[in-house]
A and B are shown apart, each in its own frame.
Chain A
């Protein structure tokens, strides 16, 4: 089947309304949430059922054409960036919640369901903990691909800790069930290997999730500090006391100024850092340690500790935090969101380094931080109208990433590698490490058709298995390299 034949086949599978080929319409899909990268696919397929997804993947396999799966397109690493010569498989029509089984604390959903809809489907008695700040729109299928996090990871964990089963269409069109409602399926934990694989191992058509009881009590405070160092000390003291808050979020001076202008949540403009701490759990447990948290904030030098008196006030505290990315638009026309991780105890030195870099480049950097788990989101502000500024901002962001890796951290905590971070992979992983990743990829996708060009720093091919090394024709031609 040639490429034109493939598009005809897609129209047969998804119907004319589910097949987009017009260049103007295709531009809707040229980027995901990371607008720096753009690429228009040859066609987009919008399957309406799991069977149609399977048939689309099978048709691509037969035609030898690469494909990229896309959920809501909110990803921040370019993971859903289309391939020009490829097909974009858009899962936005698969929006059914297939089963709610509260007795066994499971939900079965199609990939296009939004993150928030999962919690809504099991509320108010239960909830689904991973809560990326885009949870109103981001799709659960995208969450699975990216192993999404959110503000509650330190206590509750990540997407991968809540997925118990996946129905996956492999790149050759075969459908496989990994895990199920039950835990510990016999054999390899391919489910665990699949979650967070960024669409490079297959596409998910059904997702089984674990949900948990809604906490009995929630207590929230915001501590204002002169410096981020003091707020960091407060976090250290809270963690050292054996307290595991549901969320600990930090914002620095620039982030506070921007969000306050946008939300009027009442954050102190004279503060160098704001620390939002939320305890949740059994009421007696929250009561027993909440006063300790207040005291530890004060001892770390808080100039004020504000306690949410009711749900409305709690919402206000959170409103400022959630608005942080969007609010940056008030102080800068364009900005670049970074996502990296440090061991939390290295916070002080890494923030000082970011300050130095900010001064060196003459660019404002705001810091928003999931403080419990060391996930840093520096927002590099730049003037996109000035030539070369975007490149300089990216360079600055890159130096921050390297500093985080040098401190023993990671290039990405929740946004994924995608296209944006793949060049940093060698700073974290050696060639044998990357080769081990490639072995997994080749087990699932020997033809390299699922989301090629993402995650791995250089194009790679799959050799024969098992057996000694043989040169691939593309290697001989110098088009691609194996190592």
Chain B
């Protein structure tokens, strides 16, 4: 199914819902293995691919779900603006990124999709088309359904359209890289940078086979001077002005072509132990050092499960396969009630959550 209008999406969902046929919304299909990837008829947003608005003076835009992020970024960059989202996957659509809550190194400064989406339009399995939020960055009218749908993996409905806030594209960027082989030294350096008033655009860590680095990126009019002034005691320091390839590598580290990727929601204070745990299962880590979020590429599913046990009680998910597991308890009960109200026929990506 490749509908061309919101009404068509709603009609297809209603028909599927009434017939009890499972539906699986798909954007560019770059993350189909995530969250279990159950069956169902594919509903593609490929023809909902228009950039509806780019309000340059207001730093906002309205995008249909099927717009590839890369294409939107080109349009924004022409006005020296950006949507501050940089997850890996060049083909990924904005709808898929929002539905999966995916993000990249820019999250350090600008937040994730939940923080950047200011309005949403969705279609539900009973044929309803509903909107929440708006097109202005400050708005508290009504419930924030945009956040509810962000990261919901298509289990509540189909995202049709999002309004997003944009940021100025920095005029210059530069990165200080501190290399080291001691997890504690790397974690300490990252922590010191996170506590300092540096307003870094990104603060990442990488680690594999007993070696790693802290990457601190400054952006703005004085980016080079600021990156040059960054200190990381105990680490071997270099400053790179031509740093795009470095960050592309960080983003790529959030994916694995062969094995599996475990995403862990930890705390900054637990960073060193995440690096050690990863070593034990042959994992390669990239992470947002100040946010406690790490992506660990491991050789196979067994290693992924072993790593998850080691990381507990910090919540973690295996991105490729395994589904999103929420512990039994009142929060899961509440999620089930939400699902039942929004997806009344229970046909949206069943079994994922």
Contact = CB atoms under 8 A, between A and B. Distances in A.
Given A170-B330, A216-B197, A345 B140 contact: no
B142 A455 contact: yes
Contacts of B14: none
Interface stretch (B36-44, B63-71, B335-343): B335-343
B198 interface: yes
A175 interface: yes
A428 B168 contact: no
A411 B141 contact: yes
Nearest to B135: A408
B194 A373 contact: no
A235 to B, nearest CB: 10
B338 A186 contact: no
Given A182-B314, A188-B338, A240-B57, A433 B111 contact: no
Interface stretch (B85-93, B206-214, B219-227): B219-227
Given A189-B148, A193-B148, A416 B140 contact: yes
A398 interface: no
A105 interface: yes
A192 B332 contact: no
Given A187-B335, A193-B148, A244-B168, 18 more contacts: A158-B138, A184-B263, A184-B315, A193-B145, A240-B56, A282-B198, A285-B226, A289-B220, A373-B137, A408-B136, A410-B140, A412-B141, A413-B140, A421-B141, A425-B142, A429-B141, A437-B143, A466-B344
Interface string A421-437: 10001001110111111
Contacts of B80: 242
B167 A244 contact: yes
A104 interface: yes
Given A104-B267, A188-B152, A432-B130, A196 B57 contact: no
Interface in A451-483: 455, 465-467
B152 A157 contact: no
B151 A147 contact: no
A425 to B, nearest CB: 7
Interface residues of A, number: 93
A344 B152 CA distance: 32
Interface in B42-85: 55-60, 80
Query: Which 4 residue pairs of A and B lie closest in terms of their CB atoms, listed nearest first?
Result: A192-B147, A242-B168, A436-B130, A288-B221
Contacts of B291: 183
Contact of A102 (B195, B220, B317): B195
A437 B132 contact: yes
A345 B340 CA distance: 41
Interface centre among B112, B267, B268, B345 (most CB of A within 10 A): B267
B349 interface: no
B191 interface: yes
B145 A239 contact: no
Interface string A227-244: 000000000100110111
A374 interface: yes
Interface in B190-246: 191, 194-199, 220-222, 225-226, 229
A345 B226 contact: no
Classify chain B's interface size. Answer: 35 or more
Nearest to A455: B142
Contacts of B196: 213
Contact of B337 (A285, A409, A411, A443): A443
A288 B58 CA distance: 24
Given A188-B152, A374-B138, A425-B142, A343 B60 contact: yes
A156 B222 CA distance: 20
B269 interface: yes
B154 interface: no
Contacts of A370: 138
Interface centre among B145, B171, B329 (most CB of A within 10 A): B145
B121 to A, nearest CB: 9
18 contacts: A104-B292, A178-B331, A188-B152, A189-B114, A196-B140, A215-B199, A236-B57, A282-B226, A287-B222, A341-B139, A370-B138, A413-B140, A414-B138, A435-B128, A436-B124, A440-B143, A440-B341, A443-B334
B265 A213 contact: no
A444 interface: yes
B1 interface: no
A66 interface: no
Contact of A410 (B57, B124, B134): B134
A244 B221 CA distance: 12
A429 B315 CA distance: 36
Interface in A92-144: 102-105, 125
Nearest to B152: A188
Interface centre among B80, B139, B291, B326 (most CB of A within 10 A): B139
Interface string B259-279: 000010111110000000000
Nearest to B79: A240
